[in-house]
Structure 1
Amino acid sequence: MQVNFPSLGTENQSPYQVESRREIIALLRGFKEKNQLISMFINNGAEVFITSVLEVDDTNNVVIIDSAPGVEANQRIVDAPQVFFDGLLDRISIQFSSSRLQRTTFEQRPALQMLIPSNLIRLQRRENYRINTPVSSPIKCLIPMLVDELAYLGKFSLVDISCGGIAILDDQRSLDITVGTRHTDCQIDLPGVGLLEINIEIRNSQDLTLLNGRTTRRLGCAFLNLSSRTLATVQRYIMKLERERNAKMTGIN
């Protein structure tokens, strides 16, 4: 039975179910090896936590993940009849679920564990795919705003980018999250590539609790009327990020 997962992306998705145990284990280990964060949903997406894979133990058939901040939050996760996971790995969204999370410890700190899923969903973006932007040096998306009749530029951290749109973090929850809300004359300075001048439309939003306990809001936005020149700039930046990450993985400086 295919599960309908909460969607955080801005693109159309075509689901593919993976049932090969070897492939499932390889994908889960990929999250661990590449330190990729995963969104963890409970209560039909009403609550979202950010976690990461700490260990994949195929001998005991368990996956150990980072616990949520706070005893009460972890209790809600353990009590949840079903927990959904969604993470991005090598251009592809990987989604799976579990109904039996348990408390455990890993390297002397609290953690959660579950059985290795018997299947997962691999969502391949055929036209566009998202790529995460650097966490160490966050890129800002500047959005013109009006507060108390005063105009200013709001600064929002860029999470990921594709040829179809972006995701940003709204820590102060200052933007209208109504689907279809448009923001014009926005700017993103992409290092080593150039300045993007874009118009965006809000497509989805999700409140998140990060590993350090901080809460934020993630907004998925679609580009509007992107010029061919701007699209080419986005493509160059995505290619630049890919080259840098491939070089890092192969040990090339």
Structure 2
Amino acid sequence: MSLALPSLGTENQSPYQVESRREILALLKGFRDKSQLISLMINNGSEAFITSVLDIDDANNTVIIDSAPGHEANQRIVEASSVFFDGLLDRISIQFSSSKLQRTQFEGRPALQMPVPTSVIRLQRRENYRINTPVSMPIKCVIPIETESGKQNQKFSLVDISCGGIAILDDRNLIDITIGTCYEFCQIDIPNIGLIDLTLQIRNSQELTLLNGKTTRRIGCAFVNLSSRTLTSVQRYIMKLERERNAKMTGM
């Protein structure tokens, strides 16, 4: 997930590029109003932090975002030649970059500011729509991990899920993150649906520093040879999460 657009690989970006200032401001305000978290990456994606949009000043052409935990981390961000952002807003991946971040204050606490981006990338892959899993009731994925005493089942929290795969958090660095590594006999316990069996393939990984200063590793996994029955169960769960999310947004 090169720094220009690390998560796109070799995709042609032009069909997804947004250059209308009005649209760009609307997207940024969407992140602010819905308190959506955004990944901030520097050094070609080797270092990542979780941030959020705090405010947009249209008159002064600035965006204020939450700062990283710690003076040294923020110093690396403001000194970076380029900073890449990637967030999910209403099932659409929004990506943009900046090279002019500065320290500032917002409502009495440290923050960062940058110019309103002149363009963003807006990606909507409907076939593999990702949705975040509930933070209040974490979904666990069981993965057999090879140890000195043999394979042991370990549990990992899901970040999001799609019909193509999942993202999980590996706080203890237990998983071999070599791209292409496959883990068989994995299970996810989906509420109101039950256990589903699957094989996972490692597709990407990223070190993250959370707002509380703790570090974790986010790992993207693809489903391998998913059965039609299991795919149906995953689709049902995604639709359930979508209904619940829409109900909260409309106050129902």
Same fold (TM over 0.5): yes
Deviation at 1:214, TM superposition (A): 0.6
Partner of 1:102: 102
Using the size of structure 2 for normalisation, the TM-score is 0.95
- SS at 1:27's partner residue? helix
Q: Match for 2:219: what amino acid?
A: L
8 Å CA contact retained: 1:92, 1:123: yes
Where does structure 2 lack aligned partners over 5 or more consecutive residues?
Answer: none
Identity across the alignment (%): 72
Q: Match for 1:124: what amino acid?
A: Q
Where does structure 1 lack aligned partners over 5 or more consecutive residues?
Answer: none
**Matched residues, number:** 249
Q: RMSD between aligned alpha carbons?
A: 1.7
Deviation at 1:8, TM superposition (A): 8.3
Partner of 1:113: 113
Deviation at 1:170, TM superposition (A): 0.4
Deviation sequence 1:56-111 (CA, Å, 0-9, x none): 12122111100001101101100111111000111111000111101011111100
Matched, 1:200 2:166: no
8 Å CA contact retained: 1:169, 1:216: yes
Moved over 3 A (4+): 12-15
Matched, 1:151 2:151: yes
CA distance in 2, matches of 1:126, 1:75: 38
8 Å CA contact retained: 1:14, 1:123: no
CA distance in 1, matches of 2:118, 2:239: 34
Partner of 2:244: 244
CA distance in 2, matches of 1:58, 1:138: 38
Using the size of structure 1 for normalisation, the TM-score is 0.94
Deviation at 1:13, TM superposition (A): 6.1
Query: Cα distance 1:142–1:8, how it changes in 2: closer, same or farther (>3 A)?
Result: farther
8 Å CA contact retained: 1:62, 1:115: yes
Deviation at 1:144, TM superposition (A): 1.3
Partner of 2:134: 134
Deviation at 1:5, TM superposition (A): 1.3
8 Å CA contact retained: 1:130, 1:162: yes
Matched, 1:221 2:205: no
Query: Cα distance 1:139–1:8, how it changes in 2: closer, same or farther (>3 A)?
Result: farther
8 Å CA contact retained: 2:145, 2:174: no
8 Å CA contact retained: 1:92, 1:125: yes
Deviation at 1:146, TM superposition (A): 2.6
Matched, 1:184 2:187: no
8 Å CA contact retained: 1:13, 1:124: no
- SS at 1:127's partner residue? helix
8 Å CA contact retained: 1:13, 1:123: no
Q: Match for 2:96: what amino acid?
A: F
User: How is 1:10-29 mapped onto 2 (pairs within 5 angstroms)?
Assistant: 15=13, 16-29=16-29
Query: Cα distance 1:193–1:33, how it changes in 2: closer, same or farther (>3 A)?
Result: farther
Query: Cα distance 1:8–1:218, how it changes in 2: closer, same or farther (>3 A)?
Result: farther
